[in-house]
Amino acid sequence: MAMHVSLVGRKDLKGEIYRQLRVAIRTGQLRPGEYLSPSRQLAQALAVSRSTVVAAYDRLAAEGFVTSRPGAGTLVSADLVRAKRGARRQSHDALRPRPIWESIGMPTVFDRAARFDFRTGLPDAALFPHKIWRRLMARALRSAEQAERSYQHPAGQFPLRAAIAHHVGFSRGIEASADDILITCGTQQALDVLARVLLSPGDRIAVEDPGYLPPRQLFRSLGVGVTGVPVDRDGLVVDALPDGVRAVYVTPSHQYPLGVTMSLPRRRALLAWAERNDAAIVEDDYDSEFRFGDRPLEPLKTLDTRGRVIYLGSFSKTLLPTLRIGFLVGPRSLRTAMHKATFVSHWHAPTVAQTALARLIDNGDFARHIRRAARVYRKRHEMIVATVKHDFADHLEIIPSATGLHVAALARRASAEQMNAMVLRAAQADVAVQKLSSFAIGGIAGAGMVLGYGAIALEQIQEGLRRLRQSFDG
């Protein structure tokens, strides 16, 4: 493939070819050891004589930018010092982003690896059924479904939508058909679609405080106001919901990050509030697949008789975050608009993975994987809870939780600032843990920490917690 060179409106053709190739070499577009296009080929592409290109190449060679090899071609010299990419154009960057992007940071929580990793949101990749998945992906690539090579419906492939409808019906009691399902690239993208469909700039949405940060950033970037609502041991405090809110985003099955489960009276109160205020409820059924005790409460979606609840699910924790596949179950009244919003934002999720996932669910391997993983996570959950209650009794109080891949603990005496310093000392001991205050809208939600156990092996937990305990002593 020939390097792009523009000669439109240029008079000094060989000089322009030389200058543009020289800039490409200095900025790294053409890398050391990389071959330039053959002179005859580039001359044909630019509609100039070959001698014009040869003259440009000769000048580059004379200045040491390229080297000619008889019978092989012309390649970029290996001992050049490149200019920093973009330096030449820096003074011409006239465009500026909207101010909102100055206040939204890039994710950094997973930037640094840790030997003892108690961060949340990470499943154990070693538990993923790699062998089965490779076979299903290979089959999907060979299948006639992929041979069509065409764009598909924004809702997603029908076999996967049907498989998910059956799965949520069996595991969560949600009545849904394939037509009720929309395949997304994860929870965040599902929220983007819903915000486009339900909310206008200037509208307000209520979120849990403390809660999951990325949705708050998404809503703000779309011009939607975000109102934090406190969470107690029974979940979102419905009585604290303000007037004028168009929607509320909740994680009732396993609140993130506190880990509490919304009580049945509180769920009914939230549904009644939505009806009185003509509002929508976005239910993120976070971590609901992994339960280690207690009877599961019904999702809000199953209690909803008015079509006000949109149910979100994801395969990031049950399988792998890198799959980037999630789904939502929405009311019929929003169906067409959601399909259109998906189309204009990204059209549809990757199709090959959809085909493989549908077969993983249909053949029972997904359910078997969940059962195996739940047994592993249960042991880690029990060890962490028991150790924290025994070894951290003077410092932390575990918030009871029997679901998901993390537990939260409140500090008995330490302030949020002291807890932040402790988390930094733990990092120096190669222990990664998250402070509770980082999940609060105002920056402080009481002192505490969140301990995930999806990414740490059972045999590492005791040593990791021992190091964590030492960080309390400074």
Which pLDDT does position 86 carry in this prediction?
A: 47
For residue 306, the 8-state DSSP code is S
Averaged pLDDT, 87-97 = 67
Residue 100: inside a domain, yes or no?
Answer: no
Residue 359: inside a domain, yes or no?
Answer: yes
Is 58 in the same domain as 192?
Answer: no
For 234, the token pair is: 């029974």
Which pLDDT does position 166 carry in this prediction?
A: 96
Single-letter residue type at 400: P
- 238-252, 308-322, 396-410, 444-458: least confidently modelled range: 444-458
For 133, the token pair is: 């998945």
Does 429 score more than 80 pLDDT?
yes
Which pLDDT does position 22 carry in this prediction?
A: 92
Is 277 in the same domain as 302?
Answer: yes
Is 67 in the same domain as 49?
Answer: yes
Is 373 in the same domain as 352?
Answer: no
Residue 440: inside a domain, yes or no?
Answer: yes
Is 229 in the same domain as 327?
Answer: yes
In CATH, what number is assigned to the domain containing residue 79? 1.10.10.10
Helices (H), 199-252: 213-221
**pLDDT tens-digit profile of 107-151?**
777 778 889 999 998 999 999 999 999 999 999 888 755 556 678
Confidence of residue 85 (pLDDT cuts 50, 70, 90): very low
116-117 and 431-432: which strand pairing?
parallel
Residue 261: inside a domain, yes or no?
Answer: yes
The pTM of the full predicted model, rounded to 2 decimals, is 0.82
Confidence of residue 298 (pLDDT cuts 50, 70, 90): confident
Residue 255: inside a domain, yes or no?
Answer: yes
Q: Say how far apart CA 364 and CA 129 lie, in whole Å.
A: 12
State the average pLDDT for the chain: 90
| Contact indicator for 123, 319 with CB cutoff of 8 Å | yes
Is 79 in the same domain as 137?
Answer: no
Does 169 score more than 60 pLDDT?
yes
Is 217 in the same domain as 267?
Answer: yes
| Contact indicator for 152, 342 with CB cutoff of 8 Å | no
| Contact indicator for 210, 307 with CB cutoff of 8 Å | no
**pLDDT tens-digit profile of 146-167?**
556 678 899 999 999 999 999 9
Residue 8: inside a domain, yes or no?
Answer: no
**C-alpha closest to that of 415 among 443, 388, 454:** 443
For 436, the token pair is: 């509770």
**pLDDT tens-digit profile of 191-230?**
999 999 999 999 999 999 999 999 999 999 999 999 999 9
Confidence of residue 444 (pLDDT cuts 50, 70, 90): low
Domain end marker among 339, 366, 393: 366
What distance lies between CA 320 and its chain's CA centroid? 11
Q: Which residues contact 289 (CB under 8 A, 6 or more apart)?
A: 171, 317, 318, 370, 374
In CATH, what number is assigned to the domain containing residue 335? 3.40.640.10
- 71-75, 308-312, 366-370: least confidently modelled range: 71-75
Is 213 in the same domain as 308?
Answer: yes
Residue 99: inside a domain, yes or no?
Answer: no
Is 25 in the same domain as 46?
Answer: yes
Confidence of residue 306 (pLDDT cuts 50, 70, 90): very high
Which pLDDT does position 414 carry in this prediction?
A: 84
Backbone angles phi, psi at 249, to 5 degrees: -110, 120
Confidence of residue 443 (pLDDT cuts 50, 70, 90): low
Is 359 in the same domain as 374?
Answer: no
Determine the structural domain holding residue 25 and report its residue range: 13-88
Is 373 in the same domain as 362?
Answer: no
User: What's the domain count of the chain?
Assistant: 3
Q: Regarding predicted confidence, which is higher, 272 or 103?
A: 272
Is 232 in the same domain as 342?
Answer: yes
Domain end marker among 314, 341, 366: 366
Strand partners, 383: none
Which pLDDT does position 28 carry in this prediction?
A: 84
Which pLDDT does position 8 carry in this prediction?
A: 80
Angle made by CA atoms 132, 137, 140, in degrees to the nearest 5? 125
Residue 107: inside a domain, yes or no?
Answer: no
Which pLDDT does position 87 carry in this prediction?
A: 46
Angle made by CA atoms 136, 366, 256, in degrees to the nearest 5? 125
Confidence of residue 445 (pLDDT cuts 50, 70, 90): low
Averaged pLDDT, 280-290 = 91
**C-alpha closest to that of 161 among 152, 297, 444:** 152
Which pLDDT does position 274 carry in this prediction?
A: 97
Does 38 score more than 60 pLDDT?
yes
Q: Say how far apart CA 379 and CA 376 lie, in whole Å.
A: 6
Averaged pLDDT, 282-308 = 87
For 406, the token pair is: 């993390």
For 367, the token pair is: 């359910």
Which pLDDT does position 335 carry in this prediction?
A: 96
End-to-end CA separation in angstroms for the chain: 59
